[in-house]
Amino acid sequence: MRLSINKILFIPLNTFLFQMKSISIIASLLLTSMASAQQVRDPQLLAPNQTVLGFGPAVAVDGDISCAVWTETSPNYFVWASVSDARGLNWSDPIRLDDDLTLEGKITDRTSVAVDGQNIYVAWRDDRFDGTDDKIFFTRSTDGGSTWETNRHIDDGYPTDANPIRNLAMAVDSPYVYLAARVDTSNGDKIYVVSSSDDGATFGPAVYVSDFDINTFADAVNVGVYAQGSTCHVAWADDRVQAGEDVWYQRSDDAGATWLPADIQVDTNGGIGDAQTQAMFVQADGDLVTVCWQEDDRINTSEFIYTNISADGGNTWLTSDIQVGNYDTSITDVDFNSVAVKN
């Protein structure tokens, strides 16, 4: 395969800190271009009056709108948002997004918010039905965060009192919204995608994306999703081949209705290694697609960052994946991978 690539940015970090204090939530936002990265401003205090811990931060920016989302810890487990212009200089007072009266647990994470034009989309895991099983909940604003719709439960194809969602990722390219979920089943965790083609006004049924027999045991771990209009890219890891997890890729070109006839394995570890990644990233620009993951037990017990690249929209991949970074693998342990692509 011959690659013509302008920019792929990988960010392996030994330590990553999103500062959360017991009496406040502090968001450090990079809202300037790469060229002016030296002008990063001081952290912005978004919730000075909150007296409990916040977790699961997510930030999204498009045009003149920025939105930060997080979850408040016990005893309330509220989901909060704050909205700013794209410069991030002034932020709204925190807005509670969930309308749950049970005060049951909720979880937001890095992809819980997306912004596209005046539309802001927020999705999270929520166990309000029975206090145990996380399910997908969703809300959106169509006026830049001034008003928000009533929370909606997004059907994952399983009962509301069983089969919890273990991992949730969202991707948006208006009018398409994709929610990728790792669902706990009796045959291991499985990957499903729920799609909308009308900016989240309605969602179709949950679709199992893999070609692996749904009734055969295989346990998936973190899922990543990326939207390119009606094309949806999904990557995850599972243990169908060996005791450790391998990395797999799937794609839909019809807004999540149908998927490639066969999953594509993108790691080339030769049956060793364990991609129990803390975050699975799949990104695309044009025909350039990359998957980035964290893996251990390949070289030694330490964790390192790997990627593989496709130059034809995800149909074929490099025959050897790439270890990211020039660190000394005998003494270094690398966590918290990330990737961005520009073709």
The DSSP code for 169 is: E
Taking the C-alpha atoms of residue 113 and residue 102, their distance in angstroms, rounded to an integer, is 23
For residue 264, give both structure tokens.
Answer: 């594509």
Taking the C-alpha atoms of residue 236 and residue 279, their distance in angstroms, rounded to an integer, is 9
Nearest to 27 by CA among 84, 105, 78, 103: 84
User: Cα angle at 128 between 219 and 50, to 5 degrees?
Assistant: 105
269-318 pLDDT, tens digit per residue, is 877 778 876 789 999 999 999 999 988 877 777 888 889 999 999 999 99
Do 217 and 243 contact (CB within 8 A), yes or no? no
156-186 pLDDT, tens digit per residue, is 999 999 999 999 999 999 999 999 999 999 9
30-49 pLDDT, tens digit per residue, is 333 344 455 777 888 888 88
Q: What is the tally of helices (H) and strands (E) in the chain?
A: 0, 26
Do 341 and 6 contact (CB within 8 A), yes or no? no
For residue 258, give both structure tokens.
Answer: 């149908």
What DSSP letter does each residue of 293-327 carry, written as one string? EEEESSSSSSEEEEEEEESSTTSS--SS-EE-S--
For residue 287, give both structure tokens.
Answer: 């025909």
More reliable by pLDDT, 79 or 53:
79
The pairing of strands 54-62 and 65-72 is antiparallel
What DSSP letter does each residue of 176-207 carry, written as one string? EEEEEEEEEEBTEEEEEEEEESSTTSS----E
Tell me the residue type at 257. A
For residue 146, give both structure tokens.
Answer: 């001034």
Taking the C-alpha atoms of residue 228 and residue 220, their distance in angstroms, rounded to an integer, is 24
Cα 279 to chain center, whole Å? 8
In this predicted structure, what is the pLDDT of residue 243? Answer: 83
Helix segments in the chain, DSSP class H: none
Residue 35's contacts (CB-CB under 8 Å, 6 or more residues apart) are none
Do 339 and 9 contact (CB within 8 A), yes or no? yes
| Burial (CB count <10 Å: 0-12, 13-18, 19+), residue 37 | exposed
Q: Determine how many CB atoms are found less than 10 A away from the CB of residue 183.
A: 24
The residues with which 68 forms a beta bridge, in sequence order, are 59, 82
Model confidence, pTM:
0.88
Taking the C-alpha atoms of residue 108 and residue 111, their distance in angstroms, rounded to an integer, is 8
In this predicted structure, what is the pLDDT of residue 304? Answer: 86
For residue 300, give both structure tokens.
Answer: 């030694």
In this predicted structure, what is the pLDDT of residue 277? Answer: 67
Taking the C-alpha atoms of residue 170 and residue 111, their distance in angstroms, rounded to an integer, is 6
- Strand, coil or helix: what is 291? strand
More reliable by pLDDT, 142 or 42:
142
Residue range 134-163: average pLDDT? 97
233-272 pLDDT, tens digit per residue, is 999 999 999 888 999 999 999 999 999 999 999 999 877 7
70-126 pLDDT, tens digit per residue, is 999 878 899 999 999 878 888 999 999 999 999 999 999 999 999 999 999 999 999
78-110: b (≥16 Cβ within 10 Å) or e: bbbbbbbeeebeebeebbebbebeeebbbbbbb
In this predicted structure, what is the pLDDT of residue 292? Answer: 93
| Burial (CB count <10 Å: 0-12, 13-18, 19+), residue 211 | middle
User: How far lies 41's CA from each of 89, 91, 279, in Å?
Assistant: 9, 14, 26
